[in-house]
Amino acid sequence: MADIMVNEASLIPYEDKMKIALKVLEEDFNTIRAGRANPRILDKITVNYYGVDSPLNQVANIQVPEARMITIQPWESNMIKEIERAINMSDLGINPQNDGKLIRLVFPQLTEERRKELAREVSQMGESAKVSVRNVRREGIDTYRGHQKQNKISEDELYNFEQDMQVLTDKYTDEIDKAVQRKEKELMEI
């Protein structure tokens, strides 16, 4: 009967997908401006570089000389206007200061209202990540239910797999909750 082995290794592909959901959440958190200068908030900004949309960090040197300032020095001086335009068109909400050679982004202190708004955004990102983890659980359980219907695994094996999958899901939803709490705490610090 048991054509398919149901064991710890059965969970590995699903756990890998859950890890990816958590990693994507952490990367999304890096793009949220928390009052401190973090060059990762520029990761989603692209500039037209000789007809190709290129990430900002591939056409300029990005540094954080002070806690609330990022400097962007293009490798080619003719790119400065293009970079400035891309930053203005982004949703950063910061006006770049251009001195002809260097662009400065000065991060103002976040207002209490903006902090709460960002905390809500973080919470929504966390919920989306949890949905992704639950979708992975459903995918795994559906796959193994199909195996059970085809008599490739027993009902007991299916039951054990479902229990193990729930434990794995709980583990990753807890990790997501912790990541959301850490980011919300960071946002609420003055």
| E strands in the chain | 46-49, 52-55, 60-66, 69-74, 97-98, 103-106
pTM of the full predicted structure?
A: 0.71
Percentage of the chain beyond pLDDT 90 is 42
Residue-level pLDDT at 190: 57
pLDDT in tens, 74-89: 988 888 988 888 888 8
pLDDT in tens, 174-186: 999 999 999 998 8
Same domain, 83 and 116: no
CATH code: domain of residue 135: 1.10.132.20
- For 64, the domain range is 39-106
Q: Is there a domain that residue 2 lies in?
A: no
Q: Is there a domain that residue 3 lies in?
A: no
Same domain, 101 and 150: no
Q: CB of 2 within 8 A of CB of 157?
A: yes
Counted domains in the chain: 2
Same domain, 60 and 149: no
CB atoms within 10 A of CB 179: 18
pLDDT in tens, 103-115: 998 887 778 888 8
Residue-level pLDDT at 142: 95
What percentage of the chain's residues is helix, strand, coil (to nearest 5)? 60, 15, 25
Same domain, 84 and 151: no
Same domain, 139 and 177: yes
